[in-house]
């Protein structure tokens, strides 16, 4: 099986304990420069571009928001947004709780205040949000005919569980929530996934490549479909059990440079 494209999740997979690219990881990816290395993440584009720069792959496409936004050559290849009405329903629900809510569109990130959760996410992604009332943000987006690429809700695990129940009962026809942690819920449009994003990218930029020519790395629930679909799906050792169970191979954990070690040993 010839690998012609490598796709990797970022948080919990590619980055080390300091949420940075290790020297080993950078070296191994640069060594395989003849194979396109695609970053595929729930992050916003701006939170991925500095990683691309370190890897010297700015010329390659990126897949943001779990496939909700695909960019190449500074152009939008695909954009799938959550409707304003659904965003309003989620925001209204969260208003009656202690949950933090973040709204994302392309490189826009809005929060109502710079609370503990916003500061934590800003530290993790090295991006600062804009502070603005959620209602104001949604009214503005509606006037501009655009919606959220992702809604991030953070807070108490039990309150997150209740929100998941609310979404499943009332909004499951449009959105799905990925629980990256017990206290984190990433909400995306039901029609997109990392696998569908890769399909789109193949059609637009790599027509001679099939899914069987792709190697992918991941750690969480939103990586499962991708890992099952590609030629070689590799889970890092710290991945969720459900991810480990379906992976073709398991490498070291992200804190031990699992992606770099796999590339070094198999290429």
Beta carbons of 66 and 42 less than 8 angstroms apart = yes
Q: For 24-83, what is each residue's pLDDT tens digit? A: 999 999 999 999 999 999 999 999 999 999 999 999 999 999 999 999 988 999 999 999
Which pLDDT band holds residue 1 (cuts at 50, 70, 90)? confident
| Domain boundaries defined on the chain | 5-79+192-266, 84-189
pTM of the model: 0.94
- Check pLDDT > 90 for residue 222: yes
Backbone angles phi, psi at 116, to 5 degrees: -55, -45
**Mean pLDDT over each residue of the chain, to the nearest integer:** 96
Q: What is the CATH number of domain 84-189?
A: 3.30.1240.10
Which 8-state DSSP code applies to residue 212?
Answer: G
Pick the CATH number of 5-79+192-266 from 3.30.70.260, 3.40.50.300, 3.40.50.1000, 3.65.10.10: 3.40.50.1000
Which residues are paired to 103 by β-bridges? Answer: 110, 151
């Amino acid at each position: 099986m010839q690998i012609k494209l490598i796709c990797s999740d970022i948080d919990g997979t590619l980055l080390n304990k300091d949420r940075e690219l290790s020297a080993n990881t950078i070296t191994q990816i640069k060594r395989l420069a003849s194979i396109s290395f695609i970053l595929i993440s729930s992050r916003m584009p701006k939170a991925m571009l500095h990683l691309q720069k370190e890897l010297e792959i700015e010329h390659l496409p990126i897949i943001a928001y779990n496939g909700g936004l695909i960019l190449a050559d500074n152009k939008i290849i695909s954009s799938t947004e959550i409707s304003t009405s659904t965003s309003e329903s989620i925001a209204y629900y969260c208003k009656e709780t202690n949950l933090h809510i973040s709204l994302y569109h392309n490189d826009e990130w809005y929060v109502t205040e710079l609370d503990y959760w916003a500061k934590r996410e800003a530290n993790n992604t090295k991006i600062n949000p804009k502070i603005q009332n959620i209602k104001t943000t949604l009214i503005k987006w509606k006037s501009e005919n655009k919606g959220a690429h992702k809604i991030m809700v953070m807070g108490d695990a039990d309150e997150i569980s209740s929100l998941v129940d609310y979404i499943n009962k009332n909004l499951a026809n449009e959105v799905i929530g990925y629980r990256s942690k017990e206290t984190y819920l990433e909400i995306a449009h039901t029609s997109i996934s990392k696998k569908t994003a890769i399909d789109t990218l193949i059609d637009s930029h790599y027509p001679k490549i099939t899914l069987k020519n792709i190697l992918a790395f991941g750690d969480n629930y939103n990586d499962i479909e991708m890992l099952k679909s590609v030629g070689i799906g590799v889970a890092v050792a710290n991945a969720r059990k459900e991810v480990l169970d379906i992976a073709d191979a398991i490498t070291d954990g992200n804190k031990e440079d699992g992606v770099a070690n796999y590339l070094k040993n198999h290429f």
